[in-house]
Each structure stands twice: as C-alpha cells, then as structure tokens.
Amino acid sequence: MSSSYQRAQREGQSVVRAAILDAARNLLIGEGSAALTVRRISSEAGCSTKVIYTMFGGKDGLSEALWLEGFARLEQRLLAVPRGGDPLGRLTVVLDAYRAYALAEPDYYRVMFLGALPGFRAGEEAIGAVKHTFELLVAGVAACLEAGELAGGTAAEIADMLWMAAHGAVSLEIMSYFEEADASARYRLLCTSLLTPFLTATPRPTPAGPRPEAGERTTT
C-alpha cells in the first residue's frame, strides 16, 4: 500500500505540499505542537526529511506554511459568498462565513490566531500575503458605505471592529465556552449590535449591474 506522500507525488507538487501539511495538522491535533518535528512529520506523511527541508526549509518554514494555509482556506470561504443583493445583507453573510470557517477548521484557526504553535512568528512577507483576506471584509463595509446603508466611520474602522468582535466570539465558541445553538444566536446579536450605530435610515439605491451566473466564483 502506498503512503499519502507517494500517492500525492504522482499527482503533482501542490498535492505533495498539501499531504505534508495535512500530516503536520494531524500531529498537531493528536499530540500537540511538541510532535511537530521534521522527522515525525516525514514519518506521518511517508516521505523523507529531505523533501520537507526542500519544500519548506525545515520546521519554521512548515509552521509558516500551516499558518498561511489557514488564511488561504479562510479567504476561499469568504470568496464563496455570492455577490448580488444589498451590500449590508452580503456583509452579514460574510460575517457568518467567518464563523463557519472557524467552526469547520478550528485547528487551523488556532494556528492562525490562538497560539497553537508556541514561539511561532510569521515573517513580514507572510503577513503581507494574508492582508488581502482582511481587505475582503473592508471592501464589504466600503460597499455598504457607498450604498448609504452605513455611515459614521471609515471602512477600515468599522471592519476592524467587526473583526475584533467576530474573533472574540468564535474564539470562545471553539474553546467550548458556549453551546453551538446559543453561540449562533449570540454571534448574530453581537454583529447586529455593533453595526446598529452605523446604520442609516435611507440607503442610496445600488446601481444595477450584471448578476453572476449560478455557481460562478466571486471576488471582491
């Protein structure tokens, strides 16, 4: 029986990379950060240590790759939110998508935001690479401001407050401080309460434009 690495090797380098990251994540989940050695990861993935050093440069590079992979998955989740409709409604769905990602990928979320890799510090290049993810939220708020649905703050200010609130709520939820049903209602109430001071009574009409085809991938 071939290993996950051997199967991935036949399919291409990107799949090899994914197989190694999956192996690292499995070790992190099952045994904690102390298990994330190059030797253990290579054994779990079924590849040589040389492959990991070649692709990631060692444990630090692999840790950063896990961190970046988490943000890439979050961005995919946010980009999957359909376009169209009123901007404020879409912003609400984006906030729901943020929570849905955290619940679906709690281990990556812990790597990204909750210190699951002690001592890890992302480099400047990596930090720059993930800023686009947060720009999606800023763009969503900017669309609400442009449509006249929100007012009283800049897109960056309002987006930062939304992210701070959403992050705090989902962090408590994935650490089991709230039951899922209660957490869902409280999360929506939190987001609504935060947006309420910025709501306007008379939104400007949004210019008509072509709607995306069903199933079309959207961008902000």
The domain locations on the chain are: 1-57, 59-205
- Mind giving me the DSSP string for 11-63? H-HHHHHHHHHHHHHHHHHHH-GGG--HHHHHHHHTS-HHHHHHHHSSHHHHH
Predicted confidence at residue 3, as pLDDT, reads: 60
pTM over 0.85: no
Tens of pLDDT along the chain (220 residues) come to 556 555 655 556 778 888 899 899 889 888 888 888 999 999 998 889 999 999 999 888 999 999 999 999 999 999 999 988 899 999 999 999 999 999 999 989 999 999 888 888 888 888 887 888 999 999 999 999 999 999 999 999 999 999 999 999 999 999 989 887 789 999 999 999 999 999 997 655 555 444 444 344 444 3
- Mind giving me the DSSP string for 108-163? HHHHHHS-SSTT----HHHHHHHHHHHHHHHHHHHHHHHTTSB-SS-HHHHHHHHH
The whole-angstrom separation of Cα 44 and Cα 189 is 43
The whole-angstrom separation of Cα 47 and Cα 205 is 57
Q: 1-57: which CATH topology?
A: Arc Repressor Mutant, subunit A (1.10.10)
Q: 59-205: which CATH topology?
A: Tetracycline Repressor; domain 2 (1.10.357)
CB 175 within 8 A of CB 103: no
Predicted confidence at residue 16, as pLDDT, reads: 83
Q: Please, what is the angle between helix 87-104 and helix 155-174, to 10°? A: 30
For residue 82, the tally of other CB atoms under 10 A from its CB is 13
Predicted confidence at residue 204, as pLDDT, reads: 56
